[in-house]
């Protein structure tokens, strides 16, 4: 567990009691798709420019690689986000920004075998799923260190927690994004 200072200007008091990142395999996939869509998109667009704007479907060879790269950027950014626990509460985000749920805003925290539910005074429950975070079994210790009270349940989380787990959808979106970027690259040389 690493302890880092919270970014200036963010209301996250003191040092982080625990910091967690996405699973390494998911981060690698996001980084590789990001690089692939950048390179494939640049080649596709440059090839489309050389062939000229009056070529049939030229606009698709200009726009779709940009859309693929944009999706890869967002997915890569999400995979680079960190989950931090500290005196101020729990924070999801990066050094330059993120989302914080302060301790005084929470009415309860439920720790399940495969997820954590942060229940706010107003708004909907925020679930953090084990399948999205590396070293998830260390999260309760980080919350204890940050003086975040929680209730431990020796069972699986409710279905709502599973539905809020973005990891599987994000990985599938990245794979589909890479396939589309590759197809556009191949089709740009087709005629």
Q: Which residues pair with 100 in a beta bridge?
A: 91
Q: How confident is the model at residue 8 (pLDDT cuts 50, 70, 90)?
A: very low
**Once rounded to an integer, what is the mean pLDDT over residues 13-19?**
68
pLDDT digits (tens, 9 = 90+) for 54-94: 777 778 888 999 999 999 999 999 999 999 988 788 888 88
- Token digits of residue 112: 């399940």
Task: Give the mean pLDDT of the chain.
Answer: 84
Residue 4 has what pLDDT? 40
- Pairing, β 106-111 against β 151-152: parallel
- Alpha carbon of 52 to those of 61, 63, 126: distances in Å? 11, 15, 50
pLDDT tens-place string over residues 136-161: 889 888 988 888 889 889 898 888 77
pTM here is 0.78
- pLDDT for position 71: 96
Indicate left, alpha or beta for 142 from its phi (over 0: left) and psi (-120 to 50: alpha): alpha
CB 76 within 8 A of CB 38: no
């Amino acid at each position: 567990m690493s302890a880092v200072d919270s970014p200036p200007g963010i209301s996250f008091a003191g040092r982080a009691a625990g910091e967690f990142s996405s699973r390494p395999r998911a981060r690698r996939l996001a980084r590789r798709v990001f690089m692939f869509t950048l390179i494939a998109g640049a080649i596709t667009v440059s090839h489309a420019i050389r062939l000229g704007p009056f070529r049939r479907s030229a606009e698709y060879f200009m726009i779709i690689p940009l859309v693929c790269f944009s999706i890869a950027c967002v997915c890569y950014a999400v995979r680079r986000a960190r989950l931090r626990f500290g005196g101020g509460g729990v924070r999801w985000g990066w050094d330059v920004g993120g989302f914080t749920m302060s301790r005084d805003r929470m009415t309860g925290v439920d720790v399940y075998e495969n997820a954590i539910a942060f229940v706010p005074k107003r708004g909907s429950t925020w679930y953090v799923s084990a399948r999205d975070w590396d070293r998830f079994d260390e999260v309760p210790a980080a919350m204890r260190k940050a003086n975040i009270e929680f209730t431990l349940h020796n069972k699986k989380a409710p279905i709502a927690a599973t539905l809020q787990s973005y990891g599987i959808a994000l990985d599938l979106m990245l794979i589909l994004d890479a396939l589309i970027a590759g197809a556009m690259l191949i089709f740009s040389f087709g005629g």
